Amino acid sequence: MQQRLQKLLSQGGFGSRRACEEFIRQGRISVNGEIAELGAKADPDSDNITLDGEPLHLRPPKQIYIALNKPLNVLSSTARHKGDDRATVRDLVKRPGHLFLIGRLDADSQGLVVLTNDGELTHRLTHPRFQHTRSYRATLYGLPDGDALRKWERGVWLPEEESRTAPCVVKVVRNSQGLAVVEIIMAEGRKRQIRRVANALGHPVRHLKRTHIGRLGLGDLKPGQWRELDAKELTQLKTPDSALRRSQQPRPPRGQRRPPRRRRDFRRPTARKRTPGRKFRS
């Protein structure tokens, strides 16, 4: 069956869909001896597909989905950078073949990331236009008041980017000893976004942990541990948290709100006095 080339390449583990589109733009992909153009389709069972002249075997491999609790000071990278000897998530998950990373985290943050060879799912869960949710638990210095929380939820202006963050859900879990623990549900993923917003509101982050991607949670994974996802967990991964969508539904204007329901009165009615009717002669 014919499919778009970038999708076939991504499913075959040759990079993200964007990276595979770039291979095609650069003229590195050929189908049956002819250089392919972006948008071209091919059948991996009958067409000869090559990258830089080398034949590609694009039969989809067995799909792998792994949840990892990324520890602190481990890089969210599937390759080691030159001159940087810090451990990466691939040092923790020793599986053959190329794996994509869903849900990058800063080195000084910990929590849930997902590794997979499913390039199509990676695109769907990481591209900004799909608005897939991620949930975090952050420990903040100071006790944010209601005004600060409302500003955070509505969006905070970041002057270095000259733009406002997207709406999110922020709930205080507990306050103690000058620290506040908050839960954040968001669909936006700017670089170090939670830390920058918290700083702008005067409550720097002491500790940050991602707890969910979509509806998939860490479960009992300890830092550095990982597990393969079952079918139920894969569905949870693909399902966004509905709390963010509910919070973004606009309330109707005051004049258009539904009037309050009238309550029925179940008290026994008082008996009416009968008035004698007019008598008619027969």
* CA angle at 178 for the pair 175 and 182, rounded to the nearest 5°: 40
Q: Give the active site residue among 43, 47, 84, 106.
A: 106
Residue type, 246: R
3-state class (DSSP) for residue 138: strand
Distance from C-alpha of 240 to C-alpha of 272, rounded to nearest angstrom: 60
Is 106 an annotated catalytic residue? Answer: yes
DSSP 57-94: --PPPPP-EEEEEEPTT-BS-SSPPTT----BHHHHS-
Q: Say if residues 182 and 137 touch (Cβ distance below 8 Å).
A: yes
Q: Helices then strands (H, E): number in the chain?
A: 8, 17
Task: State how far the alpha carbon of 27 is from the alpha carbons of 12, 52, 78, 238, in Å.
Answer: 19, 9, 26, 34
Q: Say if residues 164 and 149 touch (Cβ distance below 8 Å).
A: no
Q: Which residues are catalytic?
A: 106
